[in-house]
Structure 1
């Protein structure tokens, strides 16, 4: 059984897509551990603000199967493949960590943006503060503490989680 950490982000009907994405993730992976939801300005392009969060789950699926599942959930929620890298998203789901695996195929793990984007690092540090990054070996709590908080604007928001989510730790 592998512990996976998942980044979710959306700026197109964000509350609707984030809720639907969480329900879908739970259907595939069971109970989720959830960070708070954060709002952030778009990065890399001018657009409406994003809602972002991190979830953790346990799975017996391979890395490739997890990524394929995420792509299916994104597609089911209106994600169009072939979009520009920096553009609005109905739902963006990325695998951040798969246990302590370090690889580049089928995806880069640990995901590089963990160290650079506040909207990934802060919610990850919230739910896994003592977990060490597999490359730097620093804990996510320490990485967030040392992060230049002026680089990106990010703030926690009040979010009504879907009632159908199983009881989980928030």
Structure 2
């Protein structure tokens, strides 16, 4: 079994598409570990704010099988591939890590570079896997988050999924 961390993002009908992603992941994997849901400004383009979170799962699926499932889930939820890379999206799922794999695996670069660059990936990852170690730099995610010094704003939002409160807004 591999431990995999997956980022989920949406800035179109955010609650609907994040819920759709969580429903699919819960159907595919036993007991997914789910971070709080965070709202953040769009990065790389001028667009509506995103909802972002990270989910941890254990799986026997390969990186290729996971990637194919995620691309199909995105397509089933209206994700368009004929638009610029940095543009609004209904649903975006990315494999962040697959155990301690490093390099290009089945066409996916691991670990995903966004872990160290974007607060909306690193903070939720540090929340659910504080002592897990980044496979390249060797630091745990909590330490990486504490050292994070980029100016990216994000905040937890109220989010309930399957009757369970996933996150709660804090005073800003």
TM-score range (shorter-chain normalised) is over 0.9
Q: What is aligned with 2:45? A: 45
Q: By how many angstroms is 1:56 displaced?
A: 0.4
Q: What is aligned with 1:115? A: 116
For 1:108, what is the secondary structure of its paired residue? strand
Distance 2:27 2:70 in 1: 12
Q: By how many angstroms is 1:30 displaced?
A: 2.7
Q: What is aligned with 2:169? A: none
Q: What is aligned with 1:137? A: 138
Q: By how many angstroms is 1:162 displaced?
A: 2.7
Q: By how many angstroms is 1:28 displaced?
A: 1.7
Q: What is aligned with 2:128? A: 127
TM-score by length of 1: 0.93
Q: What is aligned with 2:8? A: 8
Q: By how many angstroms is 1:158 displaced?
A: 1.1
Distance 2:82 2:8 in 1: 18
Q: What is aligned with 2:61? A: 61
TM-score by length of 2: 0.92
Q: What is aligned with 2:76? A: 76
The answer for unaligned runs of 5 or more in structure 1 is none
Aligned length: 164
Structure 1 runs of 4+ aligned residues shifted over 3 Å read none
Distance 1:19 1:75 in 2: 15
Q: By how many angstroms is 1:84 displaced?
A: 1.2
Distance 1:81 1:94 in 2: 15
Distance 1:37 1:29 in 2: 19
Larger strand share, 1 or 2 = 2
